[in-house]
Amino acid sequence: MARKLIASMATNLPPTIPTVLHQEETCAFVSLVASYETQPVMAMRRSRQFRWPMPETILFDPKLHEYRNAQGSIVPSVTQILARAGICDFSFVEEEIRVASMERGTSVHWLLQLEDEDALNYRQVPLRLRPYRKAYLDWKKASRFVPQLIEYQFISHYGYAGTLDRFGYFDVPAMGHAAVVDLKTGEIQDWVRYQLSAYAMRMHHIPAVARTIRRIALALRADGTYRVKEFPRESWDVDWATFYEAKRSVDAGHVDHNRERD
């Protein structure tokens, strides 16, 4: 009976809820789902400089990591573009390790989404995931970062899609204002600079404004610590140009099939 209940609830989870948790952990998370579906997303702060993206129809298949627009056409994601252009390479990672890393990352992302939406019941969080939450909360407290967009799926008018982990503001004027933040549970790779430049361009289509958005990669570790890597504003133009050229190359059919990753 319990297994049927778990399977039923896992099948009917909200679109953003992963089903990759271990079976014993799924039961622990079941009580979180009900509160998640009724909990309002935190209010978004208005800004004269950044306009919140208008709601858009996006069909996302988490198993295929595939985005489709309202017309049903597939739109490549930022990481797919980088992989197909040969900029980021996952081919050297053993399949078993890659799958385990993806499952861990998905679980941590879901956990922190519930945390930021005030829908998390900490007592039900699996022990193995708690250090990642601690690391994230420690960073938020130290940086005074206030998230405004959480796990935001988008399709850019430049023709790429993605899921922005966080967009928000630092509550310390001296530290800058807006930022896109990418959450990692592994090492931070240098190609993330291109990924975040594409995300920044989604938040504002004018490069002169987009380059003012801070690009931060936050690595959360299993021991409860974290590492921050911020990519400099001075390299933004080159980073965006590199990504855009990669997209043009992929659109033209110049794909590195050995490094392509869905």
In this structure, the number of other CB atoms found within 10 A of the CB of residue 145 comes to: 21
> What integer pLDDT is reported at residue 63 of this predicted model?
84
CA distance 168 to 86: 30
Fill in the amino acid letter for 7. A
In this structure, the number of other CB atoms found within 10 A of the CB of residue 224 comes to: 15
> What integer pLDDT is reported at residue 232 of this predicted model?
96
**b/e for 101-117, b at 16 or more Cβ within 10 A?**
eeebbbbbbbbbbbbbb
Helix, strand, coil tally for the chain in percent (to 5): 45, 20, 40
pLDDT tens-digit map of 13-47: 433 434 344 444 444 443 443 333 333 333 333 34
Tokens for 24, please give them: 């014993």
CA distance 192 to 2: 42
pLDDT tens-digit map of 85-109: 999 875 433 444 444 555 666 889 9
Phi, psi (rounded to 5 degrees) for 212? -80, -10
| pLDDT < 70 regions, the chain | 1-55, 90-105, 172-176, 254-262
> What integer pLDDT is reported at residue 3 of this predicted model?
37
Kindly report the pTM of this predicted structure: 0.75
Mean pLDDT, rounded, of the chain: 78
